[in-house]
Amino acid sequence: MSETFDPVRIGIVSISDRASSGVYEDKGLPALKEWLGKALKNPITFDERLIPDEQATISDTLIALVDAGCALVLTTGGTGPAKRDVTPEATLAVAHKEMPGFGEQMRQISLAFVPTAILSRQVAVIRDSSLIINLPGQPKAIAETLEGAKNADGTPRVNGIFAAVPYCIDLIGGPYLETHDDVIKAWRPKTAVRPAR
């Protein structure tokens, strides 16, 4: 009997004035789709948005994706200290709960690669039954943040944030996400692990 996996709807949002106006090609959405497609065993429906760095637009987009049934919403871009970087403010404005551990861990991971990681202001929040996470803007940094930093032998040096995402989504009433362990191993307490179906 083949295993069956819960379908999941995931919102992915790339926030960039220049990419959204066609000045250059957006690389955030393809990077998110590629990584999630590689990491998750679940059938995924992607809800994609490419929008400018406008706080009201970002907040409205996040609300719309949550209302559309996205269990997880990942944003990329707009999290630095520049004047136009307002993604964290827009995300906090729609939050029902803050999840500060995600931002703390993302900065820890990025610090293993670059000293400027302390300039990053990424946040994660819960709205209704959805987890919203701000990710960095660069495809390489997106993968590093989700997967973590690994030692030369492939063992984790700093845990990636995605290891905690499936259990968080369990706790807020979302679908049961299952990962490919060679990409990222989802961590759940033994009592929360569902037997293969």
Q: Which domains does the chain have, with CATH numbers?
A: 8-192 (3.40.980.10)
As a whole number, the mean pLDDT across the chain is 94
pLDDT for res 151: 83
CA distance 150 to 43: 27
Average pLDDT, integer, range 86-97 = 98
CA distance 116 to 119: 6
Burial label for 95, CB within 10 Å (0-12, 13-18, 19+), is middle
Strand runs labelled E in the chain: 8-15, 44-51, 72-76, 97-98, 124-127, 130-135, 148-150, 156-159
Phi/psi of residue 72, nearest 5 degrees: -135, 135
Displacement of CA 17 from its chain's centroid (Å): 20
CA distance 191 to 110: 32
pLDDT above 90 covers a percentage of the chain that reads 88
Average pLDDT, integer, range 27-39 = 97
pTM for this structure?
0.95
Lowest mean pLDDT among 17-21, 69-73, 128-132: 17-21
pLDDT for res 153: 85
Q: Which helix (H) or strand (E) holds 145?
A: helix 139-147
CA distance 196 to 135: 31
Q: Which two tokens stand for residue 17?
A: 């004035």
Predicted confidence (pLDDT) at residue 1 exceeds the cutoff of 60 = no
Phi/psi of residue 122, nearest 5 degrees: -55, 145
CA distance 121 to 104: 9
Q: Angle formed by the axes of helices 100-111 and 139-147, to 10°?
A: 110
Phi/psi of residue 159, nearest 5 degrees: -65, 135
Q: Which two tokens stand for residue 121?
A: 């202001």
Q: Which two tokens stand for residue 144?
A: 């590093």
- pLDDT tens for 44-91 read 999 999 999 999 999 999 999 999 999 999 999 999 999 999 999 999
